Every structure is written in structure tokens, then in C-alpha cells.
Amino acid sequence: MKNLSFAEPLPTTEIDLSLFNISGNRLFLKREDLIHPFVSGNKFRKLKYNLRLADKQGYKTILTFGGAFSNHIAAVAAAGRELNFKTIGIIRGEELESKITENPTLSFAKNCGMQLYFISREAYRHKAEIDFINKLKTQFGDFYLLPEGGTNALAVKGCEEILNEKGLSADYICVSVGTGGTLAGLVVASEENQRVLGFSALKGTFQAKEISKFTSKTNFKITDAYCFGGYGKIDFELVRFINEFKEKTKIPLDPIYTGKMLYGIMDLLKKGHFKENSCIFAVHTGGLQGIAGMNQKLKKKNLPIIE
């Protein structure tokens, strides 16, 4: 059976909140970012059972979708290299084709052996439609299909495994939200009396609908109050916070997901949102490969970078 190598058990580190002038609650961070050097965090969890099934069903090729700086694309490419699957990445934005070498995510994926195909934003919108998928099958032959962001029932099953004993004894479970697949897994694995809080990396909290496809439990809430204007958007204050967090805890955060979540958790702690003396379990979902691409953009604008 094809299984990715991984490091477990992963550390769950208590964050010393006094360093941030916060008292009255305890915060623990589970380091899912350390699970694999290249198939990081929740992307590892989401791929685990999908790759097993792909192998069992005899697929040699994995095809998936993503944007220019996608953690999912990087993870699928690295997993394919390790497990000997051919990988195909359908990338949003034709203009990127000439920029592979200067884009750290795309050049990493290419170096892992992923075949990259660039399509227009308009064509990309049809990526989940059956006609579109069938055209891809004519073009590339048969493949195991992973949706954008990698969320499906098997991905949710993998994410259930994030919750350890520490997580199960916490009052709150916090995670960053893109498609909501990871949060869905945590909700499934959680106890009814635990609150699962999702910090959306993009505008809107529409992911709740996606999550309800995977669980009937409702002990979760999603906020987009800390999305910093939208997906991939950041500002000076977020960069400052990510650097402060790393300086004080030695733990790096990414600018797209985990930086925004921790910023939100700290803000809610300061505002007294959490019950007094409660215990918060947050998941570091990884995504650190995205720092290089973000720093490139920041440098071009002469802005402070993520250290």
C-alpha cells in the first residue's frame, strides 16, 4: 500500500500568552506543519486516504487544480514524487505559464515532476463540471481526480485524525478555513460540548454549507472578521504580527491561513471572547511554502517582509 512517510506524534505546544499580555486562558498549538517536509499540515491529512484509494483502484495519475501559490498543488506534486504517481496540475491563469521559474510554488511543483497546464480564469470556473472533466480525460487519459483544495469525504476522514487527546479535552478548537474540509473533520471528531471555531481565509462564511455535507453536527462557527480583505490579501499589521509571533514563540506562521487565524485568536482573547479559564486548542495547518511567494510580492512593493 502506498503511504506517505510522516512524523508522529506531533508536538502540541503551549503558547505563553503572557508574552502577548494576555491572561486568563490557555492556548495550545498543534504543529501539523511538522508532519512532512513537503506535504504539509492539513494537505497531508486530506491526501492520505485519497492516495490509498487511488493506488488500490490502480490509478497511476493524479489530476488536480489550484492557483499560483496553492499549498494543495505543492503537496500533491511532492506526494506524487514520493509515491510514484504521475501528477497533473491544472493552474488558474494563462499568464502564469511564462512565470513558472519565478514562482516558487509552481517551480517546486514542476521540479517534483508535476505537469502543469494553464487555463483561463473563465475556463477554470467550469472545473467541477462533468463535461470539463471528460475533456480532460480525453486529453490526459484516465486519472484520479482531486478537487481544488482537496476536499472530499476521504479528505474529511483524514482530517478527523488531527484531533489528539489534548484537542479532545479543550473547550475550543480553532482552525483556519479555506474550503472547510479540515474544519469538517475536526467537527466530526469533536465532542458535542466543544466549540469549533473556523477563521476564514477569504471573504464570506459560505463554507458552512460545504461542511454540512460531511456532518450533521452544528457545534461550529465560522468568522471572516480576520480575512484581511480576502484570499491572499495581507497588510502591514498582519506581517508585523507574524514576525512578532515568530520572535516570541519561535513558531513560523504563513500569511494566507495560519497567520490570520492566530491574529484572530489573539484579538478574540484580548476582547474576552472565550470563557474565563478555558482551554483553546488551535491547529497549525502548515502552508509555510507560501511565505516565499508572498515575500516576493512584498519586496516588489518595498514593504516589510515575513522574516
Ligand X SMILES: *Cc1c(COP(=O)(O)O)cnc(C)c1O
Q: Given the rule CB under 6 A, which residues bind ligand X?
A: 41-43, 71-72, 149, 151, 176-183, 254, 257-258, 285-287
Residue given cell 481526480 in the structure block: 145
Q: How far is CA 3 from CA 128, 166, 179, 275, in A?
A: 27, 26, 25, 41
- Report whether 88 contacts 61 (CB < 8 A): yes
Distances (CA, A) of 16 to 84, 246, 259: 42, 12, 17
**Cell numbers standing for residue 73:** 498543488
Q: How far apart are CA 302 and CA 307, in angstroms?
A: 14
Sign of CA dihedral 6, 7, 8, 13: negative
Q: Which residue is nearest to ligand X (CB)?
A: 287
Closer by beta carbon to ligand X, 213 or else 275 = 213
Q: Which is nearer to ligand X, 1 or 76 (CB)?
A: 76
Taking the least distance from each CB to ligand X, the nearer of 224 and 254 is: 254
Between 89 and 180, whose beta carbon lies closer to ligand X? 180
Whether 23 and 17 have beta carbons less than 8 Å apart is answered as yes
- Residue 178 C-beta: closest distance to ligand X, Å: 3
CB of 290 to ligand X, least distance (A): 7
- Closer to ligand X at the Cβ: 167 or 178? 178
For the bound state, the minimum distance from the C-beta of residue 287 to ligand X, rounded and expressed in Å, comes to 3
Residue 144 or 199 with smaller CB distance to ligand X: 199
Closest alpha carbon to 292 in 33, 107, 65, 88: 107
Q: Find the shortest distance in angstroms from Cβ 181 to ligand X.
A: 4
How near is the Cβ of 258 to ligand X at its closest, in Å?
6
Rg, the chain, Cα only: 19
Min CB(196)–ligand X separation in Å = 12
